[in-house]
Structure 1
């Protein structure tokens, strides 16, 4: 089987291990922090180029050499852990022509030192799948992927390999285990024995015995010795848990009642009756977040500029000047202030300020006086905020009478200042 297929099948099997084991402590749902989940292991044993599954070997007579190893393991659930594993040692063998009629390889024997074989393996504890409370023995299988470095001849080599194996753990104390295991290492090459010979890649196995130490607080149990099924069985019979469940049911019922009340909206304004400050809002009204009707200000249309000019000119009839002068009397300044404020509402328009007189006196003098009075009014408008670029003053004297100069009323009518569009 190819490495990719093997890894897929192995980790798929690991994935179906009891996920409930992430919960822990004295109760199933107590939290993983109530356990010790890290372990450190050391071991020693025998390394040989044969595996118990059989298969072809270039050298048909294996030697049994000293091997050693170490690992660090993270227990994810009681049934599933990940470990970073290291192996070292020597693998050797020889050729016996009288053994199984196998063809002779290039050399009579070989001896290869394995400098390192580092792998990441997943371990599944089969014992934790059983309903047993205080197990002292655990049967496990493991497998993964790794890289190994060795020197079969004059050249150093680094190759991929697949470790597959299993073993037994014996609980000596709460934090120390005896670990007996066997691992078959399938190499992705045919050069471990310095011979490229035969129909298959090389392999070696490692049988070992060692100790496993749990890391962390001694007051906590080891996650790998916890049986979640037994804990769950005990909890389901626990009266305290039953009371908690009944209390939770009551709270859920009360919450459902509160939610039902929140959904009520008698007047249909989109605001719950619980929060509605105006319970009987008429249909169609727009409301705020508290259910109160929003009263929008009515839009007042602005008068046309021509109508405003007519109004200003009517007001300007009340502007008074000192006799024969262009000095505006103080009581008339409020009229100009009001006009200036209203001109600000028509920023797109520019205006003339035109001055006129009656026909009494010298025409030239009258024209000069009308120009000065128009200029005084224009300046007053500017002083009240109208931009200078929007105002120009002109004086026409007695040239454009509006009324007859034959009567006193007519002459008063002609003495005027008016606004016109530019």
Structure 2
């Protein structure tokens, strides 16, 4: 019978766990809401709000009132017949994991053996008549009514979830103390008050057939008190027949949330009073174990309290909920002033910088783009002529414009022939323009800028006899002079005419070409 009970229990739990109807509502708990904080913890709440304490105050939570009923039986010295138990409970949280529950269970249990056993182990004169008719042997039976009050410490194992929101299933374990009153009676006499005669029963047959024959023999009155060993009180269906026993209990259960106010649970509870007469028989040498009770129940639990002042029972509230919500969407967290990246250091953060690679020190506008004051297309940090008039544009790569001649001077021809240019001297076989020559060529460049219509004849000298090696050296020096005037001073290369002649090979002469 017990094995079938556990199979039914496992099947019911699987059915409830697979149902989506029990997980529709999630609790809401705001740690910043003072309306659910009791006066005794308001100081902690205020310190938390003002960032003077790191932990929020524990809120008021609801009580849970439960009604339960289910399969009850005694594991004793003989086979148990189906029994029933029922009652109510009241539970209150101590925190998110632990809670305390007070509970009452009333039950009726029956049992019937299928073996002949010595009447001496019954420890009662109730079986005397039946034992006399069967050679001192009896077939024990019992009917036990119990009242059990328990106080249990419970631990919830499902409310600290690191990767989900609020729990929808509450699995718990518990243990505690029980005080039990048990009224144990036996059916030892027939309707005429005589002992039962088992001579018509075949005890070598199948267990089921033996029990069927015994049920037909017994009248089911349970008219006799069970053994009267110690600790009895004058309460019960029969006088002087109430066992008063202390016991320990433990068990486990699982509850499925239907709403914020209601949940359905299944629970298995074992009660151990350390007494071997709950079934009215002590098997002695056959079995030295004590009797205990098993109660498998379906529980309907209701949360009591004003939802405007209390949260759900804390075993339904995830204690990490506030912390994770703050990480996702901070409302109470003290956040530092954000430091935004600015890769080019121009004062405009990368998020808004339209030109993220502006050179260091370059002036920029509000969008991080290098300034171009005169709008000539050359940024200020490159522009050698910061303000170029519009009529002098377009400009060259340095931002320098070419302004047209005034109307009065357009027909005036420059006197190129009157220009005088200096010569450039080189030392040894060098082809590099020295710093002294740079100053000379800078003055030449200024003259050419002032006379844009004049071209220049650049003459190199290959030596007195015009040797081939001298021609090559002379040509390279002419190129060096032209390169400096063109690349460093911005003079158009088209204004230069090159030639090589005999003469002093260490100089390059410049002269007007017009």
What TM-score bracket applies, with the shorter chain setting the length?
A: 0.3 to 0.5
Relative to total residues, which structure has the larger helix share, 1 or 2?
A: 1
Instruction: Indicate the structure (1 or 2) with the bigger Cα radius of gyration.
Output: 2
TM-score, structure 2 as length reference: 0.38
